[in-house]
A = this chain, B = another copy of it.
Amino acid sequence: MQDAQPKDLPHRLYKQYRFQLSATTSSLNIPKLDVDTAVSAANFDLAHPIPRRFTQMIKTHGYAAQSATTPLALFDYEHREPGPKDVHIEIDFCGICHSDIHQARNEWGNAIYPMVPGHEILGTVKQVGAEVTKFKVGDLAAIGCMVDSCRICASCKAGEEQYCDNHATVFTYNSKDKQGNLTFGGYGTNIVADESFVLKVPTNLDPAAVAPLLCAGITTYSPLKHWNAGPGKKIGVVGLGGLGHMALKFSHAFGAHTVMFTTSPGKIEDAKKLGADEVVLTKEPNWHAAHAGTFDFILDCVSADHDINPYLALLKRDAVYCTVGVPETPISVHAFSVVAGRKSVTGSAIGGIKETQEMLDFCGKHNIVSDIEMTSFDKLDEAWTRVIKGDVKYRFVLDLKSLK
């Protein structure tokens, strides 16, 4: 995706930054500064010879990968001093997502080290900038996979910042912010982000079990909503893991007839408890016959390679097969599988900030959280090993107390 970034993006973003700063100073009714002076002033306290960034940054203690092959280890680093629109969160819980492992091990080829993973972040507001309106100190707050985006393209304006047309989404870790600083995620004690990318958390839910909603939750909520899961619809969910178990809960809560596809007879009972109306064991002979041409939408939550063509035969005309599992090797699609019935193979990435807030509010109203196993940093290796094996019901959550 980096290749597709327009060559003039950094310049345009710099111009945008200058514009925002200029607008800010004028709205505060203070004498309008020369913008470049203001940019300098943001980094240095001119009255003192020591740059401010060395005195007021947020000291953070976390776990980082230093290379693709070494285990995560303790790492001390700093987050920026909260600006006027920033929220400083002391992190209480962080979910473990399979993508933490993919990225730390550079399996997606985009790793930047040191890397502090974690994008299912739940914590308590510690400081707020002068212009913050959504949060006050002591509030619960959450951060998902993004902390910024270009904010000016059609996708950002449509509330789909994860699909930023300028490819300028700033991810919560393994990414660079608009100033070129590396971002660090939830495997650490603190985080600082613009309130526009911080979510409010319903207070009636178990905060630890809310954390995985920030990735596993929105990743399944968004496509189910986008493709209209609801009463009268027959929805398939492939694979019962971190994503799949949330997909079952949402599809059921939306009122759709929900069918779980799994290879494991041992998961039948769980799937039904989680919201499946039917469970299809895909290792049974002729497992697909009874369901041919009957599904309105199938959400594939499997990250391992597998043949999707038998599932395409289960879709109705014009229906959609969506992957959120993102297998490493390309998906093989027989042309006839989509031509016959004008079916679509698509994918979906998390959800926009507005939709993530909608999802959290929905969860508060319907008492939906993730099924979790609590763990601690001293057991991180074991937890990652079990995530890779799919041996977790259904999401590990790191207790940040184990770092403090």
User: A160-B317, A165-B316 provided; 15 other pairs, C-beta below 8 A?
Assistant: A4-B289, A226-B342, A309-B330, A320-B344, A325-B335, A330-B332, A331-B333, A331-B335, A332-B332, A340-B347, A340-B349, A342-B346, A343-B347, A344-B345, A345-B346
Q: Is the beta-carbon distance between A313 and B163 smaller than 8 angstroms? A: no
Kindly list chain B residues whose C-beta atoms are within 8 Å of the C-beta of A375: none
On A, residues with C-beta under 8 Å from B are 1, 4, 6, 154-155, 160, 163, 165, 226, 289, 292-293, 309, 313, 316-317, 320, 323-327, 330-336, 338-349
Give the docked Cα–Cα distance between A336 and B99 (Å): 13
Given contacts A330-B333, A332-B332, A346-B345, whether A339 and B323 have CB atoms under 8 Å apart is yes
Kindly list chain B residues whose C-beta atoms are within 8 Å of the C-beta of A165: 293, 316-317
Q: Is the beta-carbon distance between A333 and B333 smaller than 8 angstroms? A: yes
Kindly list chain B residues whose C-beta atoms are within 8 Å of the C-beta of A349: 339-340, 342
Cβ-neighbour of A4 out of B293, B326, B334, B338 (below 8 A) = B293
Q: Is the beta-carbon distance between B326 and A163 smaller than 8 angstroms? A: no
In whole Å, how far is A236's beta carbon from the nearest beta carbon of chain B? 16
Give the docked Cα–Cα distance between A331 and B154 (Å): 30
Jot down 17 A-B pairs with beta carbons below 8 A, ordered by A: A154-B317, A160-B317, A226-B342, A309-B330, A320-B344, A325-B335, A326-B335, A326-B336, A331-B332, A333-B345, A338-B347, A339-B349, A342-B346, A342-B349, A343-B347, A344-B344, A345-B345
Q: Is the beta-carbon distance between A338 and B323 smaller than 8 angstroms? A: yes
Q: Is the beta-carbon distance between B335 and A327 smaller than 8 angstroms? A: yes
Give the docked Cα–Cα distance between A335 and B301 (Å): 12
Kindly list chain B residues whose C-beta atoms are within 8 Å of the C-beta of A289: 4
Q: Is the beta-carbon distance between B339 and A334 smaller than 8 angstroms? A: no
Give the docked Cα–Cα distance between A126 and B317 (Å): 37
Give the docked Cα–Cα distance between A1 and B312 (Å): 11
Given contacts A340-B349, A346-B342, whether A330 and B323 have CB atoms under 8 Å apart is no
The winner among A4, A226, A324, A348 for most chain B CB atoms within 10 A is A4
The winner among A316, A338, A347 for most chain B CB atoms within 10 A is A347
